[in-house]
Amino acid sequence: MEKLDLSYIGERIKQARQNAKMTQEELGEQIGKTSRYIQAIENENKGFSLDTLIRIVRVLNLPTDAIIYPEVGIDSEADQWLRMFRLLSCRDRQILLATAKAMLKEDQ
């Protein structure tokens, strides 16, 4: 069986973390790891468990495809909208949805 080259994953995680305006320390705190551990993943191709990957993906609100498949764009406009939407309070989500629906009705 051919061994997979996963060396690009650390760079993808770094890119996603930076796009989320998060420091290595902040990401580490949220997944229960040190900033040094995050640095090692991002810059030194340190291996990590599936559990750690799942925690990273959840904290950064990433589709797993964006990490596993290097050809998939990591920060499309839709991904940015979805990430921001998830950060809103329930009340703010309802306001945004109502506004979007009203805007769509105007265009028809």
DSSP 32: T
DSSP 44-104: H-----HHHHHHHHHHTT--HHHHH-TTS-SS-HHHHHHHHHHHS-HHHHHHHHHHHHHHH
For residue 17, count CB atoms less than 10 angstroms from its CB and return exposed for 0-12, middle for 13-18, buried for 19 or more.
buried
Better-predicted residue by pLDDT, 66 or 98: 98
> What's the pLDDT tens digit per position in 17-41?
998 899 999 999 999 999 999 999 9
Share of the chain above pLDDT 90, in %: 44
Better-predicted residue by pLDDT, 94 or 1: 94
- pTM, entire model: 0.62
